[in-house]
A = this chain, B = another copy of it.
Amino acid sequence: MNAAVLTIGDELLQGFTVDTNSSWLGTILLTYNIRITKKITVGDKLNDIISETQNILDDKYDFLFVTGGLGPTHDDITKEAFRQLLDDEIIFDENYYLQLKQHFEKRSIKMPESNRSQAMLLKTADVIPNDNGTALGMHLLIKGTHTFIMPGVPGEMRSMVNKYIIPNYIKKTPVENFITIKTAGIMESHLAEKVNGLMEKYSHSFRFAFLPHYSGVSFRINKLDENENLLNVKDEFFKAMLPYAYGINDNTLEEILGLKLIEYKFTIATAESCTGGLIGKRLTDSAGSSEYFLGSVTAYSNQLKTSLLNVPNDIIQKFRAVSEEVALEMAKGVRAKTGADIGISTTGISGPSGGTKTKPVGLVYIGVVTPEKSMVKKYNFNYGRNIHREMTTTAALNITRLAINQA
């Protein structure tokens, strides 16, 4: 089955908002074997919404997901567009209006009068409840195309799809035709060389794709033949990609590292400089991280490297803050201060300024100290400040993962 997505809003075209809804829809629909084959974005213009919707309906998609343009402000015109397109009526839902009013009263907030528009609905539509906001969703079956009109706020849209649209209109059991292997610490073309033979071997009934990101390369396997065993083939590729492969699908490096830490009963703490707390932040993205994450210290100034992390001042003076020696002392220091089994440290120059000839922008030292060993790795990630911090964090998590693997 196929689907089209129509996202509506000037803010999407003009770049004030990044569209994450359609990619989320792509992932979730795939698990129900519904493939999005076209995505279109138009602005808050009645005629554009109508004509693009008409084009999609003419192409006879099984599903059309429309997001955006349902808010209470004047530029939200999705309902009016569908009213004209379908020659429908817009009705006022008194009950829902009273419900909304109560919702605001409960929070002791006076409901803005503009919210009245939230109780206006297309007459021929089924209502899709919104558990996270005020704009209702709508379902219409238009010439065989199941059309869902939803708000653009990601949390509201997602819960409508999960709680109401999938159970009521899609219903089927998820099928597994796709799997993604996540890797870190290797570039796309080198990863390709490791699996070229396997890709050829399975080319008759699988499709493959490399998805490179700054945080690592993902490798997607798509089963084309129902009789093949996706998991066995995944296992073969995974083995060929070791030790770079760390997980599949939604697995994140921090989540996999967390599981390793639980398995080995290790606690962890970070001593950060250039990453400014990002490693600690990513380690605590996972619920339950309090089981292994004790804390982190970001010591930007040399003085705090000494007072909070016990880095001897003469080592800073002799080798400077961005050095192998200071990275090692920071990792040791945070272990001592927190009592953690593993200490991770970063010290580097994220830029744009601060570089010298011998220590250029992009240089970073990452230290990892475990109960068994100490190591410091040196990298040069010269792709701008933010990417430097992201890549350093990913490398630190990956080095730690590998260090525990080999423990």
Contact = CB atoms under 8 A, between A and B. Distances in A.
B13 A37 contact: yes
A35 to B, nearest CB: 7
Interface stretch (A227-235, A255-263, A362-370, A378-386): A378-386
Contacts of A300: 284, 289-290, 293-295
Where chain A touches its partner, the secondary structure class is: mixed
A358 interface: no
B43 A37 contact: yes
Contacts of A112: 189-190, 192-193
Contacts of A298: 277, 280, 284, 295-297
Contacts of A384: 155
Interface string A264-282: 0000001010011111110
B296 A277 contact: yes
**Number of copies of this kind of chain in the complex:** 2
A276 B351 CA distance: 24
Contact of A189 (B115, B193, B207, B353): B115
A24 B15 contact: yes
Interface string A48-83: 100010000000000000000001111100000000
A41 B37 CA distance: 8
| From A30, A193, A300, residue with most partner B Cβ within 10 Å | A300
Interface in A312-338: 337-338
A39 interface: yes
A24 B13 CA distance: 9
A285 interface: yes
A89 interface: no
Interface residues of A, number: 101
Contacts of A278: 277, 281
Given A307-B338, A308-B338, 7 more contacts: A15-B22, A37-B48, A39-B40, A72-B188, A132-B383, A290-B300, A308-B308
29 contacts: A11-B220, A12-B26, A13-B35, A14-B36, A15-B23, A15-B25, A16-B27, A16-B218, A16-B220, A19-B19, A37-B43, A38-B41, A71-B210, A72-B189, A73-B188, A73-B209, A74-B208, A112-B190, A115-B189, A153-B212, A277-B279, A278-B281, A280-B298, A285-B386, A287-B353, A294-B300, A297-B297, A297-B308, A308-B337
